[in-house]
Amino acid sequence: MGVLQLLKSQFLCHLMICYVFLVSGLIINLLQLCTLPLWLVSKQLARRINIRLAYCVSSQMVAALEWWSGTECTLYTDPKSYPLYGKENAIVVLNHSFEIDFLCGWTFCDRFGVLGSSKALAKKELAYVPIIGWMWYFLEIVFCKRKWEEDRRTVAQSLQNLRDYPENYWFLLYCEGTRFTPKKHQVSMQVAESKGLPKLKYHLLPRTKGFWVTVQNLRGTAAAVYDSTLNFRNNESPTLLGILNGKKYHADLYVRRIPLEMIPEDEAECAAWLHKLYQEKDSFQEHYTQTGCFPGPTVSPPRRPWSLINWLFWCCLLLYPLGLLLAQLFSSGSMLTILASVALCSAASLGVRWMIGQTEIDRSSNYGNKEVPLNKH
């Protein structure tokens, strides 16, 4: 193990990274709060400011992936579609099987210049995660309770609000609705069987209502659906803790651009279209398992320096005063102050550990775990 790699695995380094993320994130949340009165005067200006503020937070995680861990990302896509990426609004359909799939998504967003503005249909629980969840509120991320009766109206309304968004965005949909586990796969394949649908080997059965409502409400605003299938080389299952430890992964993303006009308007036809799409995605994953790559030409869109520059800026701004504070603390010799500071640091690192826990599949929700009575279908 080289010196740099040894350094990256040190707990002290992780503490400093988390400290910078936590303090800068809370400062950004506070600044976002200050933009509230501006919404009343100029909604579009408030949105543009929030896009840039959000970039300061999410790009830190992108920098950790790209520059700290050195993870590489290869894009498999049609060269004719490539120039359009980042130049139009799009709905992204991505498989939900990895703990850092959202982060790989963010990396591609950054490389095509839409990181600050990008959105998702996210479960409501994520809105309460400090920093990221609070930041999403100002970005107009669409939250759902995963209870269709309650979601149908609120989700449609939130999507309508995005129709006059001032900058290009990608709207991410994990149609499976939850992360892949063997148990959830088994349950969802029972549902597939009861609906007479072919079984999927690598995906859970997609939930179709969120996709339909998104396509319908963004018609005329989004130009295309980007069907995206992600996998990692060497059968790896990357984690956020792995990234913090500086572990390098290699992500492969296969993207097909499908013009929105090609998607049926009728709900049942749209659902059938999505099921067919997932059958195709399953065959791409099978191809990847057999050959170690996706079909078609590849390109590696270069990482941009902005995420690193932003990260270094926050490190300089926040680590210097921390150093001064620590020096003062120890020179004061007050045991009580030292103990209080240690307690505060421990609480903060537990908080960050809890946030990282939100990404861990072992702590995944029970959604999609329950056996569905077969006669329901």
Ligand X SMILES: CCCCCCCCCCCCCCCCCC(=O)OC[C@@H](O)COP(=O)(O)O
User: Which residues make up the interface to ligand X (CB under 6 A)?
Assistant: 17-18, 21, 60-61, 64, 96, 102, 123, 126, 129, 132, 174, 178-179, 352, 355-356, 358-359, 364-365, 367
Footprint of ligand LV5NTVZW on 85-124 (CB under 6 A): 85, 92, 94, 102, 105-106, 108-109, 118, 120-123
| Dist CA 57 CA 21 (whole Å) | 7
Nearer to ligand LV5NTVZW, 21 or 174 (CB): 174
Decide: is 208 part of the binding site for ligand LV5NTVZW (CB under 6 A). Answer: yes
Measured CA to CA, the distance from residue 46 to residue 39 in angstroms comes to: 6
Residue 281 site contact among ligand X, ligand LV5NTVZW, none (CB < 5 to 8 Å, cut-off depends on kind): none
Place of tokens 């100002």: 138
Q: Does 144 bind ligand LV5NTVZW (CB under 6 A)?
A: yes
Query: Which amino acid type is present at position 144?
Result: C
CA distance 202 to 283: 9
Should residue 159 be labelled a site residue for ligand LV5NTVZW when binding is judged by CB under 6 A? no
Tokens representing 309 are: 């520059």
Rounded to the nearest whole angstrom, what is the least distance from the CB of residue 312 to ligand X in the complex?
12
Q: Is 170 near ligand LV5NTVZW (CB under 6 A)?
A: yes
Are the CB atoms for 111 and 303 separated by under 8 Å?
Answer: yes
Nearer to ligand X, 178 or 231 (CB): 178
Select 177 or 246, whichever has its Cβ closest to ligand LV5NTVZW: 177
Segment contacting ligand LV5NTVZW (CB under 6 A): 21-29, 173-181, 310-318, 342-350? 173-181
Q: Give CA 242 to chain center in angstroms.
A: 17
Name which position in 205, 225, 274, 277 contacts ligand LV5NTVZW (CB under 6 A): 205
Between helix 335-357 and helix 306-332 the angle, nearest 10°, is 150
- State in angstroms the smallest separation of the CB of 146 from ligand X: 8
The yes or no reply on residue 61 touching ligand LV5NTVZW (CB under 6 A) is no
Query: Which residue's Cβ has the minimum distance to ligand LV5NTVZW?
Result: 210
How many Å is the Cα radius of gyration of the chain?
22
Note whether 151 binds ligand LV5NTVZW by CB under 6 A. Answer: yes
Helix axes 209-218, 267-291, angle to 10 degrees: 110
Q: Spell out the alpha helix ranges (H) of 35-111.
A: 36-41, 43-63, 101-111
State how far the Cα of 238 lies from the Cα of 251, in Å rounded to an integer. Answer: 10
Chosen from ligand X, ligand LV5NTVZW, none, partner binding at 55 (C-beta under 5 to 8 Å by type): none
- Per-residue DSSP letter, 117: T
Identify the CA nearest to 146 among candidates 359, 369, 373, 376: 369
Tokens 């949340």 sit on residue: 29
Extract the runs of DSSP E, i.e. beta strands, from the chain. 72-77, 90-94, 119-123, 142-144, 170-173, 224-232, 250-259, 298-299
The minimum distance between CB 80 and ligand X, in angstroms, equals 31
Quick one: what does residue 179 bind among ligand X, ligand LV5NTVZW, none, with the CB cut-off 5 to 8 Å set by partner type?
A: ligand X
Contact partner at residue 144 from ligand X, ligand LV5NTVZW, none, CB < 5 to 8 Å by partner kind:
ligand LV5NTVZW
Give the C-alpha distances (Å, rounded to integers) separating 65 from 132, 246, 251.
Answer: 17, 8, 11
Query: Which residues in this chain contact ligand LV5NTVZW in the complex, by CB under 6 A?
Result: 85, 92, 94, 102, 105-106, 108-109, 118, 120-123, 126, 144, 146-148, 151, 170, 172-175, 177, 187-188, 191, 204-205, 207-211, 226, 228, 255, 368, 372, 377
